[in-house]
Structure 1
C-alpha cells in the first residue's frame, strides 16, 4: 500500500491534482492548470488521433506529464502512487465514458459508478475513474464526489445533515436534495454560463462593467438586491432587457448594472427555493461567489434556514470524497 494517493478533479476547463497522505488525508502538494477536459479532448482529435494514439493513451500521457510536474514540486517519487479522478474525465469527451449512477444515490459511496484500471508500463499508477449521477432529466459529474466528501467532513465535525438542499454555485449550479444519507434528486441551473454570455457576448455587454464585481460598495450591493427582486417579480427574460434600459436611462452606472445583472440571474436560480419551505439550505461555495449568494439569500429572506459552509471545508470536499471512494474500492478488491 502506498503512503500517498493522487486525487484529480478534472473539469471541463480546469485541472486540479492533489497529493494526499493516505494515513491522515492531509494534502502535501497541489497543482492547478487550465488544461481542462474540453481542451484535452480537442487536442487529441487534432493531433493524437491523427498520430494513431487512442483517446485513453493520450489522456494518460497528459496525466503523466502533470504528475511529473507535481513530483518535482513536492520532491517525492510518485511512481506507483494510485490515482483517483472525478469530474468530466468519465464523460463522452473524457478519457473513457463511464455510465452514470442513478438515484437514489447513497452518500457513503457504495453506489458510485467507477472504472478501475491497473498500472501500465508507460503509466505506473493504478487508477480509479469516478463517473457521475443522473436523474430522469438531469446529470452531473464531480459534484456527487464533493457531496460524499462534504457529508463525511460534516459528520466528523459533529454536524448533522439528515435533510437539506445543498447548493453548489458555479458555471452550472447544482441544488442537491439530501435526505437520510441519500441524494434523492438534483437540479441544474446555468447561472454562471448565462452571466458570462450576457455580460460578454450579448447586447448587454455595453451596459455592464464586469471588472467592478469585486467592489462591494453600498450602491453596488443595492443594485444587486434590486436585480434579485426583479427576478421574483417580472422574471428573468424581462429583467435581462431591463439591464439594457438601466444603462440607457442612466438609472444605474455600468458598475452597478453588473451587480444588477448578477443579482437578477442568481435571484432567478434561488427563487424556486422559496417554495421549498420544509428544507434547510446549505450553501457550498469555496469561491468569491459566496458573497453574492449570501446577499441574495438575505434579500429573499432565506437566511433563517440557511447555513453557509466555510470555504476551507468546501476546498477539502472533493479529495475527501475521492479518498473514501478509493478506500471502498480497495476493500472490494481485497474481498473478492
Structure 2
C-alpha cells in the first residue's frame, strides 16, 4: 500500500481516476466518467451552495464516490492512499483555485504550483491539487503534468531532445517550447473545439458526417490531404468550402469531415514549417494520432519529428503526477 497513489485527471468535461503503483508507474485500476469540473460546479451552485455545503467539501464528496468505485473494482481498501489531482480542479470553478506557475517552468516539476491538504476523518486521503502554468498571454492546466512525466520518461531512456517543440493535440492543442530542461513558452490552438463547433452547431453541420471518423479509406484520406493543402489559403474562406464541397457534390459528407479535419490541423501545423531550427515531438493520444501523424508526413516535417507512442503519453500523465506528489512531500 505504501507505493500506491491515486492519480486524478479532472478536466472540464471528463473525469479519470487511476490507482497506480508509484514505484514502477504500473496502472492497477481506473474509473472514468463524464462528471467533469463544469458539471460538478454547476451541481454545487444549484444544490450544494444553497444547502450551505462548502465547494471544497462538495468536490471531496464526489471524489469519495469515485475512490470507492476504484476500491471496489480493485478489491482493495484505499483509506490512507494519497491522491494527486490535476486539470481544471485547481481552477476558479474547481475544488479550490490555485495560482498558476509561471515561465520559465522547470521540467523536473520543482516550480510547479500546488495546494496540499491533510487527510481527515471524513476524507482519509492526503491530497495535492496541482495547478497549471501561465505565460503573458496563455494558460494551461494538465498538459504541463504530462510534459513533466514525458520528459522524465524520455530522459530515463536517454532520448530526450535538449531543444524541441512538444505538440499535444486535443480540444485545445498545446505547442510547448522546451530548451535546456525548461518550458520557455507555449501556444494554445483551438483546433479540436473549432472542429466540434463547425461539425455540430454551425451551417457546416449538414455538410459533414463524423460517424465513421476512424475509417481512413483511400477516399477519406484523399479528402484529408486536400484539406491540408487548402490550409494554405485564408482559413475563414476555406471553411465555407466545406459547404460548397457538399452542395456541388465534390465530396461526400463523410469525406467532408476528413477535409475539415485536414483544413484545421493544417492551419495549426503549417506555421511550424517556418521554425526549422526546432525539433518537433508529437505527443498524441490514440484518437487523434493517425490524423496528426499523417499531417506530419504530408507537410514534410517527419525528418525533424519524434513521434511518441500513444501508450507512452498515457503513462506520462501518471509519471508527472507521481513526480509532483513526491516533490511536494519534500516541501511540506
Short-chain TM bin: over 0.9
Question: Equivalent residue of 1:331, what SS?
Answer: helix
Unaligned residue ranges in structure 1 (runs of 5+): none
Equivalent in the alignment of 1:324: 323
Which deviates more from structure 2 when the two are superposed, residues 49-58 or residues 204-213? 204-213
> Could you list the per-position Cα deviations for residues 203-247 of structure 1 after superposition, in whole angstroms to 9, with x for gaps in the alignment?
101111111211101111111111111111x12111100111111
Rounded Cα–Cα distance in structure 1 between residues aligned with 2:241 and 2:24: 52
TM-score (norm 1): 0.97
Matches within 5 A, 1:140-179: 140-179=140-179
Equivalent in the alignment of 1:52: 52
Matches within 5 A, 1:191-206: 191-206=191-206
TM-score (norm 2): 0.98
Aligned length: 332
Rounded Cα–Cα distance in structure 1 between residues aligned with 2:288 and 2:321: 24
CA contact (8 A) 1:178 1:185 kept: yes
Q: What is the root-mean-square deviation of aligned Cα atoms in Å?
A: 1.0
Rounded Cα–Cα distance in structure 1 between residues aligned with 2:314 and 2:323: 16
Unaligned residue ranges in structure 2 (runs of 5+): none
Question: Equivalent residue of 2:116, what SS?
Answer: strand
CA contact (8 A) 1:164 1:280 kept: yes
Rounded Cα–Cα distance in structure 2 between residues aligned with 1:3 and 1:267: 44
Equivalent in the alignment of 1:113: 113
Rounded Cα–Cα distance in structure 2 between residues aligned with 1:196 and 1:276: 28
Question: Equivalent residue of 1:214, what SS?
Answer: coil
CA contact (8 A) 2:25 2:315 kept: no
Rounded Cα–Cα distance in structure 1 between residues aligned with 2:307 and 2:22: 29
Matches within 5 A, 1:284-303: 284-303=283-302
CA contact (8 A) 1:212 1:258 kept: no
* Structure 1 stretches of 4+ moved >3 Å: none
Equivalent in the alignment of 1:133: 133
Rounded Cα–Cα distance in structure 2 between residues aligned with 1:2 and 1:78: 11
Equivalent in the alignment of 1:224: 224
Rounded Cα–Cα distance in structure 2 between residues aligned with 1:263 and 1:218: 14
CA contact (8 A) 1:2 1:80 kept: no
Return the offset for 1:301.
1.2
**2:103 equivalent to 1:98:** no
> Could you list the per-position Cα deviations for residues 176-213 of structure 1 after superposition, in whole angstroms to 9, with x for gaps in the alignment?
00111000000001111100000110110111111121
Rounded Cα–Cα distance in structure 2 between residues aligned with 1:267 and 1:235: 12
Rounded Cα–Cα distance in structure 1 between residues aligned with 2:226 and 2:23: 50
